[in-house]
Structure 1
Amino acid sequence: MLKNRSRDGNSIARFDSTPTGIYIIDPVRSMLGFSFRHAAISDIRGKFNSFEGLLKLDAARPYRSEAYMSVQTGSLETGNRQRDEHLKGPDFFDSATFPLLTCRSIGFEYAGNEGLRLIGDVRIRDIELPIAIDLKFGSTTQEAAGRERVECEGRAALKPSDWGLISNTPLHAGGVRVSNEISLVMDISAVRVFQAPPA
């Protein structure tokens, strides 16, 4: 349920003016990225190239909004083939056995003056655990075809060990020493495909 907090931020105002309806995430104009500390020396940044999702937005009653996303773990890319293969392998995502990472919302709340917070569950491998994603909404635009497009940014952090993702392979054997905190960043662009009828 959406908690009653301050609603003075611009992001909140932009969400309140977002047309209610069902939106499909546009993977061409969206980005799902991540970063982590490697061997306590450098930051590694990467992204997933294949994902899809659905947003059911209700500006008048945000607590009724919903979000769903599925990600192909095998589409992971960090710019280094050996590192990518290790992260896709059985030590980490095990993409051959668990090809999908999924996220589904269970509620929304106001996050101070800055935006909304999605409260949901993320399934990685065969473990589903809660996650909080801070969202900031941009302005809604209308395309030439007449469809509305909404933009939003998402930020979250998770501990890989909570999902049993622990890289134990030595670095000299091609392993990747991943810190126990991964930052997620999402730049989402979604197009409305269904206009909700009046309440």
Structure 2
Amino acid sequence: MFNKLALAAALAAASTAAYADPVTYTIDPTHTDVIAQWSHFGFSNPTAHFGQADGTIVYDADDVAASSVEVTLPLAGLNSYTAKFDEHLRSSDFFDAAAFPVATFKSTRVEAAGEGKLKVTGLLTIKDSSKPVVLDVTLNKVGENMAGQPAIGFDATTTIKRTDFGVGMYAPAVSDEVKIRITTEAGVPKAE
């Protein structure tokens, strides 16, 4: 009888261990970049980078629908590598960073989309406009970072219309569609 109870307890423990809890990761701004690219009158395809990302990723490998993403992008981190253009992008002609200093993304649904792939739907807020956006996400790696802490990395892409967010100056001659590419690494901070 004792052996049967011990076996039942071991099986229960093993089945519980098979379902890992969701893990909450903190975005590492040093290894995260959001890149926007558009057509400039058909002549070139410039880019702007949005750095200094802050936020969390909750990832549940056993139930991806229980996963979530919440990110804040300070417009102070906007960098086109041309100071005068950065000033123009932050002006009221575009982002109006004085009145709206951050852009945000908050997921509303996460779905599996094949091996190592996810579809992340959420609300992107720029200025005072919030619109649904779908990110096509690739899970790069889950493991330990160089500090021995749990870490995760993703790449993602989407296309948005900037006129949806009140940053449509010169559209459509300067393309309304903006391609977004994201790479992010996040980790579990060390316990204090």
Instruction: Give the TM-score of the pair, scaled to structure 2.
Output: 0.81
Q: Is the 2:142–2:153 contact (alpha carbons within 8 Å) kept by the matching residues of 1?
A: yes
Bigger Rg over Cα:
2
Q: Which residue pairs with 1:178 in the alignment?
A: 174
TM-score with structure 1 setting the length: 0.79
The answer on 1:189 being equivalent to 2:191 is: no
Structure 2, unpaired ranges of 5+ = 1-18
C-alpha displacement of 1:192? 2.1
Q: Distance in 2 between matches of 1:80 and 1:125?
A: 22
Percentage of identical aligned residues? 25
Structure 1: any 5+ residue segments left out of the alignment? 1-16, 170-176, 195-199
Partner deviation per Cα, 1:102-148 (whole Å, 9 max, x = no partner):
00000012335561010000111011110000110012221354311
Q: Deviations over 1:75-128 (max 9, x none)?
A: 211122222111111011000110010000000123355610100001110111
- Counterpart of 1:135 in structure 2 is 137
Deviations 1:46-87 (A, max 9, x none): 201222110111111111111000001232111222221111
Q: In the TM superposition, what are the counterparts of 1:159-178 in structure 2 within 5 Å?
A: 159-168=161-170, 178=174
Query: What residue number does 2:59 align with?
Result: 57
How many pairs are equivalent? Answer: 172
The DSSP-based 3-state class of the residue aligned with 1:116 is strand
> Helix, strand or coil for the counterpart of 2:167?
coil
Q: Aligned equivalents of 2:167 and 2:189: distance in 1? A: 37
Query: 3-state DSSP class of the match of 1:43?
Result: coil
Q: Letter of the aligned partner of 1:80 in structure 2?
A: T
Query: Which of structures 1 and 2 has the larger relative contact order (alpha carbons within 8 angstroms, sep 6+)?
Result: 1
Question: How many angstroms apart in 2 are the aligned matches of 1:180 and 1:168?
Answer: 9
- Aligned residue number for residue 159 of structure 2: 157
Is structure 2 residue 93 aligned with structure 1 residue 91?
A: yes
